[in-house]
């Protein structure tokens, strides 16, 4: 576990709209955490999907005025990036030891300990949702609730495993090439957002494409390999007692995964919201659809202040 002697805080405010970046040294390497808001408030941690960070995965939600008001009024936000996914990240050395999903979940515990946080609210997208679900299973007393967007929870199907292997090979031989970015954008967004020969791609897809240009292929490949080797979490879901709110776009390639996960959770503690005309990344494509369900979710947990 990290303590103040093991961790190196680095403050850079100028590019994060009032947030501060901390690099927290853990047993499995350094982790970038962007902190927004009053650190005396309850904590909400986020974890993005593959090849994304807080800007490309959660900016749409936090730029939605109503959602930003709800979240920032009631929580201090801690955006955790997968290793090597933060803005301006250097390439991870190819000889660096690979991290598994358990390592990534354990890093979250070290981040919480570094900031002196107790139980936290968690929000994750797809691969990030898997990491946070695993964290909640391993460290039950450190999680108040889970907000999962188009989550993964089973081991990869043969189709997903093959798809991920194709991406891994593209990353190894060509880096963040055009074909790889197209595969990732199809993972994140609906066909409507991605456009076609007659309809141009949406602004959010264009913005995400530009942000993907900043990723290093070796860094993305490490996270991809960890996710492609993930174990099935099904057996632990019934024992998960923290309240869980699941969002999924009806055009997400992980739509059936989210439905199946909901069926395995204890219905007393879970709810599902299906979002129409949306892909996996509801936080970017349809952030307004998250507002009212989150309000009710927080009300049920008594962690919302109505004096906004």
Taking all residues of the chain, what is their mean pLDDT, rounded to a whole number?
A: 91
Cβ atoms of 153 and 261 within 8 Å: the answer is yes
Res. 224: pLDDT tops 90: yes
Strands (E), the chain: 20-26, 29-36, 43-47, 76-80, 120-125, 143-149, 243-249, 270-275
Q: Is the dihedral of CA 296, 302, 303, 308 positive or negative?
A: positive
Q: What is the pLDDT of residues 164-199, one digit of tens each?
A: 999 999 999 999 999 999 999 999 999 999 988 788
Q: What is the pLDDT of residues 242-251, one digit of tens each?
A: 999 999 999 9
For residue 9, is it within any domain?
Answer: no
| Confidence bin at 305 (pLDDT 50/70/90) | low
For residue 8, is it within any domain?
Answer: no
For residue 11, is it within any domain?
Answer: no
For residue 48, is it within any domain?
Answer: yes
For residue 1, is it within any domain?
Answer: no
Q: How many domains does the chain have?
A: 1
For residue 157, is it within any domain?
Answer: yes
The SS3 of residue 257 is helix
Parent domain of 184: 20-300
* pTM, two decimal places: 0.92
Torsion of CA 68, 73, 74, 77, to 10 degrees: 60
For residue 14, is it within any domain?
Answer: no
For residue 130, is it within any domain?
Answer: yes
Residue 111 sits in a domain whose CATH number is: 3.40.50.1820
Which contiguous run of DSSP H or E holds residue 62?
A: helix 54-62
Q: What is the pLDDT of residues 126-170, one digit of tens each?
A: 999 999 999 999 999 999 999 999 999 999 999 999 999 999 999
Rounded to whole angstroms, the Cα distance separating 206 from 228 reads: 27
**Contacts made by residues 192-196, CB under 8 angstroms, sequence distance 24+:** 192/251, 192/277, 193/279, 193/285
């Amino acid at each position: 576990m990290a303590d103040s002697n093991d961790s190196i805080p680095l403050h850079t405010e100028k590019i994060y709209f009032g947030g501060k970046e901390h690099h927290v040294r853990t047993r499995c390497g350094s982790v970038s955490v962007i902190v927004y808001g009053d650190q005396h408030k309850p904590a909400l941690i986020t974890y993005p999907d593959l090849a994304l960070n807080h800007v490309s995965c959660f900016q749409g939600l936090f730029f939605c005025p109503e959602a930003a008001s709800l979240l920032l009024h009631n929580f201090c936000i801690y955006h955790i990036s997968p290793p090597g996914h933060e803005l301006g990240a250097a390439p991870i050395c190819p000889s660096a030891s690979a991290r598994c999903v358990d390592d990534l979940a354990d890093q979250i515990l070290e981040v919480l300990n570094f900031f002196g946080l107790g139980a936290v609210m968690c929000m994750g997208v797809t691969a990030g949702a898997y990491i946070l679900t695993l964290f909640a299973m391993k460290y039950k007393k450190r999680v108040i609730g889970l907000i999962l967007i188009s989550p993964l929870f089973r081991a990869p199907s043969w189709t997903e495993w093959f798809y991920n292997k194709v991406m891994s090979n593209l990353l190894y031989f060509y880096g963040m090439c055009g074909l790889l970015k197209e595969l990732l954008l199809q993972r994140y967004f609906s066909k409507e957002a991605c456009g076609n020969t007659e309809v141009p791609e949406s602004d959010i897809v264009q913005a995400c494409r530009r942000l993907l240009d900043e990723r290093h292929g070796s860094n993305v490949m490490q996270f991809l390999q960890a996710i492609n080797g993930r174990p099935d979490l099904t057996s632990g879901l019934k024992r998960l007692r923290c309240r869980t709110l699941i969002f999924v776009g009806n055009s997400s390639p992980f739509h059936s995964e989210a439905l199946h996960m909901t069926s395995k959770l204890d219905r007393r503690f879970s709810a599902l919201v299906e979002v129409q005309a949306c892909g996996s990344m509801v936080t970017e494509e349809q952030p307004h659809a998250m507002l009212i369900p989150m309000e009710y979710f927080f009300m049920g947990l008594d962690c919302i202040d109505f004096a906004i």
